[in-house]
Structure 1
Amino acid sequence: MNRTRSLASAALAAATALALSSCAVNEMGLDDSGSTLDGYIVGAGSSAQGAAQQAWVAGFQNAHGGVTVDYDPSGSGAGRDTFMEGASDFAGSDRAYTPDELEEGRFGRCAPDSTVIELPLYISPIAVVFRLDGIEALNLDAATIAAIFAGDITEWDDPEIAAANPGVALPDLPITAVHRSDDSGTTENFTEYLNAAAPDVWEWEADGVWPFPGGEAAQGNSGVVDTVGNGVGTIGYADASRVGDLGTVAVRVGEEFVPFSPEAAAAIVDASPIEEDRAEGDLAIAIDRTSEQAGVYPIVLVSYLIACEQYASPENVEVVKEYLAYIASEEGQQAAADGAGSAPISESLRERAMQAIESIGA
């Protein structure tokens, strides 16, 4: 009986100590993760960032148990509109705002006359994907890719395709080209490549909206991949993280054909300059789509995290800053690489991004 009373007393003392400890933690504003940060922020935009955002949200919320981050992968155009309308704290976009958009735009949650910061924190190749039974890879140059999507090359055994793929048994089969139905940064990056690298074939300027009728349209990266995968003789373009078991194209760069990879995507970004005449925290990159540097992959998507430099309200500003800082960190970039196959940014780009994030206030 004495031993039982002793055990009971010890259990009561332990429970009391735990309760007092919990009270002390609560009074300090700490959550189970040991973080004092709390709040709720909303982002929307790039579907290409979807898998990376899932990894970022999980890692950030694990470190800050009092924070909730919601991200809607509604597409880049929708994300930019949502941010301008003031319905989100940050946006994901597969292109930066144009100078005209920045000059004319009023960003709902930003302070009057505030600039926006645009951080290229998600770098991924855009894969040209196809479905042909028994063929897993093809070589194509820019002019041939442009002619296929423009509808000028309509059969898989076309001489232009055959010339780049000796020994490959190309089928006598019609080509069905699949493009995005929504306003998409992936489309804008893809059409920018076609216009820059094959201007004699691709007459349209870069645009997030597919420039002409024809072919087959699908919503989002996942829609394009599903449509290509469920067809026969289909070809499309999508963020490389969504490729799965589809066939993929190696793109001609100089005298070689370069398959997509995170390393090749990072190489073209490091070889390209920051756009001129931008605010200090606006890190929009002018991708050199016609580079002939060895080992670069020119059909690359540089996707941005966009925020106000100065918010109209201080509410959740620290959460936005900490979330963007996590994304830019080595840990955040590795989480995206593991979860989405993206290319980690370089150390020099990380330093510039961190400086821009530090400038955020209210």
Structure 2
Amino acid sequence: MKTKRHGAVVGLIAAGALLLTACGSDNNAGSGAPTNTSGVPVECGGKTKLNAEGSSAQKNAIDTFIQAYQQRCPGSDLAYNASGSGTGVKNFNAGQVDFGGSDSALSKDKGEVEAAAKRCATNPAWHLPLVFGPVAIGYKLNGVQDLVLNGDVTAKIFNGGIKKWNDPAIKALNSSATLPDKDITVVYRSDESGTTDNFQKYLKIASKGAWTQGDGKQFKGGVGEGKEKSAGVAQAAGSVDGAITYVELSFAQENKLSLAKLDNGSGPVELTSESVGKAIDGAKIKGEGNDLVLDLDSIYGSTTAGAYPLLLATYEIVCSKGYDADTAKAIRAFLTVAATDGQAGLADAGYAPVPKSFQDKLLTAIKAIA
């Protein structure tokens, strides 16, 4: 597969970038063996073609991982269906795929944690955060290329409290811009999406009360038009003057959307390598042991100067135990490559590589999958 290139984000390897310094030898090393660029050994073999499904936000990252996996483990492959986080979780829990991809953790209240344990032969599922990506607030507004928003105003746009681009609240944040008397067209994800869940969690925290609709994988703002998947919302927003949406950076770039700066209380912050790195540095783990669930609330509500506070972490949801031996071996190999060699290509695909602070924990968890 060919990885989609996004030159504008090559610099995303920043403070939160993965610095692979581990020593070791490739178990497959020998005459003609693929180059081990990370120094981390990979035990290839087992099931020759894995199946996974879920988050469309991480599709380009998975493509990058597959390329690295095929190079490190010739003859091995993975098929990934970017059906959305909700479908990925459902089909993982139903045992239809080997692992799922989701932009938010399994919900205990919805029975997802229990269902996953049942699927994993009464063993818990683990969340492995292998893909970090900033969520852009992308818009198309002729004549306006430099727009500042904050949590309060963004919440009111996406729940219908602000309907015009020249609303006084938007003007107050953009005194030097000429804002048109034009209706705002909100475009949201109509399918269940971890991107939606993260965006609504950001609004709930960052708006300081302006967003009362709650969170979850279904959009609850009550306004706008819905489109399926990340590509769908980005394409729709890019075709309408006056449109605004929330979408992963790579999709916003593909559709030539303008990107809003976010003011978290310490001044407008542009989506850059430095601002994403500062945000990732603030992420904390709230899961236990090898279940690496992240606590992103401190990021969404951060007032750290220069930090871009709106990002998501995509999890690969795996069984801690319960696989047959061939499947477990192949999953360990794929995820090891994804956490090491595969990270090197993520900046070109619009993502931020896994932070160093997560590298050792990821590899420890991956090694323990059985």
**1:3-28 deviations in whole A, cap 9, x for unaligned?**
xxxxxxxxxxxxxxxxxxxxxxxxx9
1:308 aligns with 319
1:37 aligns with 45
Inter-partner Cα distance in structure 2 for 1:254 and 1:183 = 31
Moved more, 100-109 or 292-301: 100-109
In the alignment, which of 292, 296, 303 is matched to residue 307 of structure 2? 296
1:13 aligns with none
AA in 1 matched with 2:145 = E
2:161 aligns with 152
2:266 aligns with 255
Kept after mapping to 2: 8 A contact 1:46/1:74: yes
2:15 aligns with none
In the alignment, which of 324, 349, 353 is matched to residue 358 of structure 2? 349
Q: CA deviation at 1:238?
A: 0.2
Q: Specify the structure having the higher radius of gyration (Cα).
A: 1
Inter-partner Cα distance in structure 1 for 2:177 and 2:350 = 28
**What SS is found at the alignment partner of 1:126?**
strand
Inter-partner Cα distance in structure 1 for 2:225 and 2:44 = 50
Inter-partner Cα distance in structure 2 for 1:230 and 1:32 = 49
Q: Does residue 229 of the first structure (1) align with residue 257 of the second (2)?
A: no
**What SS is found at the alignment partner of 1:243?**
helix
1:22 aligns with none
Percent sequence identity is: 32
2:294 aligns with 285
User: Could you say which structure has the higher helix fraction?
Assistant: 1
Coordinate RMSD, CA, aligned: 2.0
Inter-partner Cα distance in structure 2 for 1:194 and 1:71 = 30
1:137 aligns with 146
Kept after mapping to 1: 8 A contact 2:58/2:314: yes
Q: 1:267 to 1:321 in 2, by over 3 A?
A: same
Inter-partner Cα distance in structure 2 for 1:88 and 1:108 = 14
Q: 1:40 to 1:199 in 2, by over 3 A?
A: same
Gaps of 5+ in 1: 1-27
AA in 2 matched with 1:307 = V
Inter-partner Cα distance in structure 1 for 2:144 and 2:314 = 30
**What SS is found at the alignment partner of 2:295?**
coil
Q: 1:102 to 1:208 in 2, by over 3 A?
A: closer
**1:53-72 deviations in whole A, cap 9, x for unaligned?**
11111121122221120000
Kept after mapping to 1: 8 A contact 2:266/2:304: no
1:274 aligns with 285
Q: CA deviation at 1:255?
A: 2.2
Higher relative contact order structure (alpha carbons within 8 Å, sequence separation ≥ 6):
2
Q: Name the count of aligned residue pairs.
A: 328
Kept after mapping to 1: 8 A contact 2:100/2:318: yes
AA in 2 matched with 1:332 = G
**1:126-162 deviations in whole A, cap 9, x for unaligned?**
0001111122220011100000111111111111111
In the alignment, which of 315, 325, 333 is matched to residue 336 of structure 2? 325
AA in 1 matched with 2:52 = G
In the alignment, which of 172, 183, 190 is matched to residue 174 of structure 1? 183
AA in 2 matched with 1:302 = A
**1:97-135 deviations in whole A, cap 9, x for unaligned?**
13444542245652x221112111111110001111122
Kept after mapping to 1: 8 A contact 2:45/2:76: yes
Q: 1:215 to 1:36 in 2, by over 3 A?
A: closer
**1:276-300 deviations in whole A, cap 9, x for unaligned?**
xx34111111111111112211111
AA in 2 matched with 1:185 = G
Moved >4 Å (runs of 4+): 30-36
2:275 aligns with 264
> TM-score scaled to structure 1, two decimals?
0.86
**What SS is found at the alignment partner of 2:346?**
helix
Inter-partner Cα distance in structure 2 for 1:168 and 1:42 = 49
Inter-partner Cα distance in structure 2 for 1:181 and 1:226 = 14
1:337 aligns with 347
**1:177-223 deviations in whole A, cap 9, x for unaligned?**
11000000000000000011114211021111011543110101100
Q: CA deviation at 1:36?
A: 5.7
**What SS is found at the alignment partner of 2:216?**
coil
Kept after mapping to 1: 8 A contact 2:138/2:252: yes
Kept after mapping to 1: 8 A contact 2:44/2:333: no
Inter-partner Cα distance in structure 2 for 1:318 and 1:61 = 15
Q: Does residue 125 of the first structure (1) align with residue 124 of the second (2)?
A: no
